[in-house]
Amino acid sequence: MFVNRRTVRIEWGDCDAAGIVYYPRYFEMFDASTTHLFEMAGFPKRQAQARFGIVGWPMLDTRANFKIPSSFGDDILIESRIGRWGRSSFDVEHLVFKGQAVAIEAWEKRVWAAKDPEDPTRIKSIPIPDEVIARLSAS
């Protein structure tokens, strides 16, 4: 299975008054990590939009299990992979490591979406191309 790993330095602005990462900042990191996952598999977002006629892969649902806090100056490693493919939706799994320990387990449900041809002010799910699934499912 294709896995993307990226190191993120926790910045001062990521932290709350208690000195730990304010939890919504992690969800921004996960969103960016999903984009990096597709980019590293050969599907940068702008190119995927043009090539497949999509608006992107918007979020349907997200959740996380926070185990170990991080604070200013910490380096964390985010590992991202596709956990499950559907016809037009997919699940992304993120593991955040602080050192060797798992600090966060997070999940996203996303949809492969294009403008609705019947109402261009709306979007609708469309089938995920086999090529995308194959590349992101490869080891």
pLDDT-based confidence at residue 138 (cuts at 50, 70, 90): confident
Q: If you average pLDDT over residues 51-69, what whole number do you get?
A: 97
Could you tell me whether strands 59-66 and 101-111 are parallel, antiparallel, or unpaired per DSSP bridges? Answer: antiparallel
Task: Tell me the per-residue pLDDT of 80-124, one tens digit each, with 9 for 90 and over.
Answer: 999 999 999 999 999 999 999 999 999 999 999 999 999 989 999
Q: What is the pTM of this model?
A: 0.94
107 contacts 94 by C-beta, under 8 angstroms: yes
Residue 45 near residue 61, CB atoms below 8 Å: no
**pLDDT given for residue 25 in this prediction:** 97
| pLDDT for position 1 | 82
Domain that residue 15 falls in: 3-137
- The CATH number covering residue 75 comes to 3.10.129.10
Read off the amino acid at residue 52.
Answer: F
pLDDT in tens, 72-81: 999 999 999 9
Residues with a catalytic annotation lie at: 16
pLDDT at 22: 97
**Burial label, 46 (beta-carbon count in 10 A; 0-12, 13-18, 19+):** exposed
pLDDT single digits (tens) 5-58: 999 999 999 999 999 999 999 999 999 999 999 999 999 999 999 999 999 999
Q: Specify the number of domains making up the chain.
A: 1
